[in-house]
Amino acid sequence: MNATKFQKALVLGLLITFLMACQSNPIKIAPTKPSLEIIQMEDGSMCMSAENAEKLGVYILELERTVQ
């Protein structure tokens, strides 16, 4: 096997190895944190609208999916 064929085979092997490594470790990107309008009550509890509660719930589910 001459040097040119060996170099092409080596480059191809490295490329395949690199591509397989990239597929096996996907990059996990955290979801965008929603901006919520929350009212802090005197007793320490919080109050929010149904729309904000839904946004918070979706955000939490997306965070859990990212961690797994």
Torsion, CA 16, CA 17, CA 19, CA 20, rounded to 10: 110
- 57 pLDDT more than 90: yes
Global confidence as pTM: 0.56
Which of 19 and 7 is assigned the larger pLDDT? 7
Tokens found for residue 45: 């509890």
- 25 pLDDT more than 80: no
pLDDT at 66: 84
- 51 pLDDT more than 80: yes
Supply the range of the domain harboring residue 23: 3-67
- Burial class for 30, CB neighbours closer than 10 Å (0-12, 13-18, 19+): exposed
Average pLDDT across the chain, whole number = 85
- Indicate the number of domains in the chain: 1
- 6 pLDDT more than 90: no
